[in-house]
Amino acid sequence: MPFAKSWARLRSMTNGRRQTKAILKAIARGEDRSSLFWWMVEHHDEILAAAEGRRIQWGTFCTEATRLGLTDTKGKPPTTRNARETWRQARRAVEEARERAMAKPRAGRPGSKYPSWISPDWRPQIVEQPRPVAEAGSRAPYSPVVRSEAFSGDADGQPRSELVEFPTVDPSGAPLAEGHVFYRGQSMLRRVAEQLARIDRQAREMDRFK
Amino acid sequence: MDLPSMETMMLDRASGLTAGTADEVRIATIVDGRGRAGKTTVANVFVQFCRERGANLRVWNADRQNETHSLSVFHPDAVRPPSDDPDDKGAWLEESFDAQVRERFDSVLDLAGGDPLVRLLARETELVPTLEQHRVRLVLWQVLGPDVADLDYLKLSMEAGLFAPATLLVLNAGLVRSKRSIEAVFAEVTGHKVFVDAVAQGAQVVWFPGLVCMKGVAERGLTFAEAKRGIVKPGQQRFVLFDQTRVEIFWEKHIPAFFAQIPADWLPRMADRAARSRGGIQ
């Protein structure tokens, strides 16, 4: 049915745009962000899909980016080095925004409004994952996310503890080595990720007071 | 008297402060980094903070390139090498460490930007384990600005074996001016492989807080305690009220919070360790 098809396409586009908007909103707008950076954030998934796990040809990419009028923070056409670094920052920003979004309670809260094409009685199907009891000497049950308690100081010097979630799988869903988590677009030891996350939070805290 | 069973109290000739027991680990802090990264500012804060809390701290100023704002301006008892000649400086440093082992004091060494002095000694003598054998812990403070080139010196320190587990990566937020995002400005450094590898090898990372009027404090030759009290030296202009308040917040709140994040056994012995995390002087 043509209408259903176009409606489905519209819905996916709208949902995709809505998710993108949510991500964009979650990423703090800093004066140092270039048009290239925001374009990369908005097209993050498409870029990953187009790369298909291969290295991006930055020379070709920069040619196309220049054609689109995308620039670096100085208003100049991006160089390959700049584009590579900007892509790293865009991936990190999207990843962190998605992690924050995962931490927020989803729709289903009392009083929340549903889009008109979804029945107010709809609820997501919840699948309970079996939790095997670990035997002595065996590995801990696999979990896609690990929570770490992280401490960071605030501007008043008071230590603040908060739970931080780190994925234990890479973007393709493959589990990482034991003791490793995915942070800033790469696999790393959890204690390293905890420390990097702490300094990132502290930097954002300092930026709040600027 | 049965000396081994009593606490042996030795007087430090330089400061008259007690030096504690011969068995206690002493700390040798090396403040390293590229030129203009803020090493001397960080070292100056370190000395003032620790000494306010009773640390028995010797100041070694190997930076002969920086005269106007050198550590010697703020701490006239700072010891300097006899010349800039590499052999003279090397011999001076060896004698200084030797004195530290014998006399059991804590020390802080301010290096000139890019000075290979300590790295060369580290290569020749396996400096870190040698000092540890004599219960002197070498703690490297690598001061980093937002320039990726600042990591060059960290990389050199790692290769020279200076990279002990006791390494503090000091991100100098004071270098970020105006309203620029600290996170964005430092992103290239904190995301760099050299930086991440250093953290993976046990380095601790701390943000050094900025102070808008730091230059004014330094140019007046004031300690932070003096500046927050509004002390005016002859011939100088008074600090404006808000700058005085800024110094007070910096010295009473931000700097104690900074030191509270550093492992206690990486810091000189202070009269009251709890005072590290409070602004109060004990």
A79 φ, ψ to 5°?
-90, 170
Task: Judge contact between B50 and B266, C-beta under 8 A.
Answer: no
Interface contacts (A, B; CB < 8 Å): 72
Contact residues for A101 (Cβ-Cβ < 8 A; gap 6+): A22, A23, A26
Residue in B with minimal Cα distance to A194: B199
Looking at CA atoms only, how far is residue B78 from chain A in angstroms? 30
Rounded Cα–Cα distance for residues B153 and A42 (Å): 37
Whether residue A155 and residue B254 make contact (CB cut-off 8 A), yes or no, is yes
In chain B, which residues have their Cβ closer than 8 Å to the Cβ of A195? 199, 204-205
A108 φ, ψ to 5°?
125, -5
Residue A31 burial (CB count, 10 A): 10
Q: What is the pLDDT along chain A (210 residues), one digit of tens a residue?
A: 443 343 344 344 444 555 556 666 656 555 578 889 988 888 888 787 777 666 788 888 888 888 788 888 888 899 988 898 898 888 888 888 877 776 655 444 444 444 444 454 554 444 444 444 444 444 444 445 666 655 555 444 445 555 678 899 888 889 999 999 999 888 999 999 999 999 999 999 888 877
Rounded Cα–Cα distance for residues A46 and A66 (Å): 18
- Position B282 scores a pLDDT of 35
Would you call A156 an interface residue with chain B, using a CB distance cutoff of 8 Å? yes
In chain B, which residues have their Cβ closer than 8 Å to the Cβ of A200? 183, 190
Domain count, chain B: 1
CATH at B134: 3.40.50.300
Q: Which of residues 113-132 of A touch B (CB under 8 A)?
A: none
Whether residue A192 and residue B199 make contact (CB cut-off 8 A), yes or no, is yes
Identify the domain containing residue B69 by its residue range: 3-211
- Position A132 scores a pLDDT of 44
Residue with token string 């200076």: B162
Q: What angle do CA A22, A25, A27 make, to 5 degrees?
A: 115
Domain assignment of residue B233, yes or no: no
Domain assignment of residue B59, yes or no: yes
In chain A, which residues have their Cβ closer than 8 Å to the Cβ of B254? 155, 157
Task: Judge contact between A27 and A93, C-beta under 8 A.
Answer: yes
Rounded Cα–Cα distance for residues A13 and A11 (Å): 5
H/E run at residue A195: helix A190-208
Residue with token string 């502290």: A202
Residue in A with minimal Cα distance to B256: A157
Whether residue B190 and residue A196 make contact (CB cut-off 8 A), yes or no, is yes
Question: Among partner residues B179, B188, B196, which is closest to A188 by beta-carbon distance?
Answer: B196
Rounded Cα–Cα distance for residues A6 and A173 (Å): 30
- Position B9 scores a pLDDT of 42
In chain A, which residues have their Cβ closer than 8 Å to the Cβ of B179? 31, 210
Question: Among partner residues A155, A195, A203, which is closest to B183 by beta-carbon distance?
Answer: A203
Domain assignment of residue B275, yes or no: no
Sign of the CA dihedral with A103 first, then A104, A110, and A113 last: negative
Contact residues for B102 (Cβ-Cβ < 8 A; gap 6+): none
In chain B, which residues have their Cβ closer than 8 Å to the Cβ of A157? 253-254, 256-257, 260, 277
pLDDT digits (tens, 9 = 90+) for B177-208: 877 899 999 999 999 999 999 999 889 999 99
Would you call A64 an interface residue with chain B, using a CB distance cutoff of 8 Å? no
Task: Judge contact between B26 and B137, C-beta under 8 A.
Answer: yes
Residue in A with minimal Cα distance to B206: A199
Q: Which of residues 194-233 of B touch A (CB under 8 A)?
A: 196, 199-200, 204-205, 207, 209
Domain assignment of residue B262, yes or no: no
Whether residue B207 and residue A155 make contact (CB cut-off 8 A), yes or no, is no
DSSP of A119-146, one letter per residue?
Answer: -TT--PPP-PPP-PPPPTTSPPPP-SEE
In chain B, which residues have their Cβ closer than 8 Å to the Cβ of A156? 253, 257
Looking at CA atoms only, how far is residue B214 from chain A in angstroms? 17
In chain B, which residues have their Cβ closer than 8 Å to the Cβ of A203? 173, 181-183, 186, 207
- Position A11 scores a pLDDT of 42
- Position A45 scores a pLDDT of 81
Average pLDDT per run of 10 along chain B, which is 282 residues long?
A: 38 49 84 89 96 95 75 89 87 94 95 79 82 94 94 85 82 88 93 93 94 90 91 85 91 96 94 56 37
Looking at CA atoms only, how far is residue B196 from chain A in angstroms? 8
Least Cα distance to A85 among A40, A21, A48 occurs for: A40
Domain assignment of residue B272, yes or no: no
Whether residue B182 and residue A85 make contact (CB cut-off 8 A), yes or no, is no
Looking at CA atoms only, how far is residue B169 from chain A in angstroms? 11
Q: Which of residues 52-71 of B touch A (CB under 8 A)?
A: none
Whether residue A196 and residue B199 make contact (CB cut-off 8 A), yes or no, is yes
Rounded Cα–Cα distance for residues A152 and A57 (Å): 39
Whether residue B182 and residue A153 make contact (CB cut-off 8 A), yes or no, is no
In chain A, which residues have their Cβ closer than 8 Å to the Cβ of B49? none
Domain assignment of residue B254, yes or no: no
- Position B36 scores a pLDDT of 87
Task: Judge contact between B280 and A183, C-beta under 8 A.
Answer: no
**What are the structure tokens assigned to A203, written together?**
């930097």
Whether residue B191 and residue A207 make contact (CB cut-off 8 A), yes or no, is no
Would you call A73 an interface residue with chain B, using a CB distance cutoff of 8 Å? no
Question: How far is residue A17 from each of residues A101, A122, B244, measured CA to CA in Å?
Answer: 15, 22, 50
